[in-house]
Amino acid sequence: TQLLEQSPQFLSIQEGENLTVYCNSSSVFSSLQWYRQEPGEGPVLLVTVVTGGEVKKLKRLTFQFGDARKDSSLHITAAQPGDTGLYLCAGGSGTASKLTFGTGTRLQVTL
Amino acid sequence: EAQVTQNPRYLITVTGKKLTVTCSQNMNHEYMSWYRQDPGLGLRQIYYSMNVEVTDKGDVPEGYKVSRKEKRNFPLILESPSPNQTSLYFCASSSNGGYGYTFGSGTRLTVV
């Protein structure tokens, strides 16, 4: 079974701070997806990276896929209260119909 | 509006009473999948489907059945629910599994 470990598990920061969430595995994935989940709702896709070394930016969020396609990071610049939520990485295998989710990082941004 | 619709949102049932959680998507997606989410264990894949009549087991398929008779629907069947199947369930769909999934709003199931 493939495993994806995220760190940190919990993060509480103040508005305006920067942060990085890590997603690590010993397995190679064909794609790496990042989701954000609000309480009582399903995860919402933020981004997908498929090429080793790929970097994607989504406003204040920067996503990177490791060169070996085993790890990924999410960096948030100048965090805002609206960034609060559970961040999940998910690795796709083969056709990526099989998706393995990471353990999750719960982020709280306070004023 | 493009969406994945699950029903019901909440369900309390008794051990052994068969139940079905429905899932429907209006995006003509090929791929569909079921997950359960439990505290401390995260999201785990139960079953997935790559097309009509094509399904395969995920990481935790025991006690569940699925069918994909038509593209838009992917129901999850619990033939004889047990308390350890109490969980939050999500259905998801994708046009190409490798590029991300759209999730439903979830079904909170309690088996007593």
pLDDT at A21 over 80: yes
Task: Express each pLDDT in B66-104 by its tens digit.
Answer: 999 999 999 999 999 999 999 999 999 998 877 789 999
- For residues B94 and B28, what is the distance between their CA atoms, to the nearest angstrom? 9
> Measured between alpha carbons, how far is A82 from A16 in angstroms, rounded to an integer?
12
Residue B98: which of A35, A44, A50 has the nearest Cβ? A50
Under an 8 Å CB criterion, which residues of A touch B? 1, 30-31, 33, 35, 40-45, 47-48, 50, 88, 90, 92, 95-104
Residue A97 has pLDDT above 80, yes or no: no
* pLDDT value at residue B2: 86
Q: Which residues of A touch B99 (CB under 8 A)?
A: 31, 33, 48, 50, 96
- CB contacts < 8 Å between A and B, how many? 71
d(CA A63, CA A48): 9
Q: How far is A14 from A54, CA to CA, in rounded Å?
A: 29
Mean pLDDT, to the nearest integer, of B3-20? 97
Q: Do B19 and B78 form a contact (C-beta atoms < 8 A)?
A: yes
Average pLDDT value for residue range B54-76: 95
Q: Which residues of B touch A95 (CB under 8 A)?
A: 50, 97-98
pLDDT for A39 beyond 60: yes
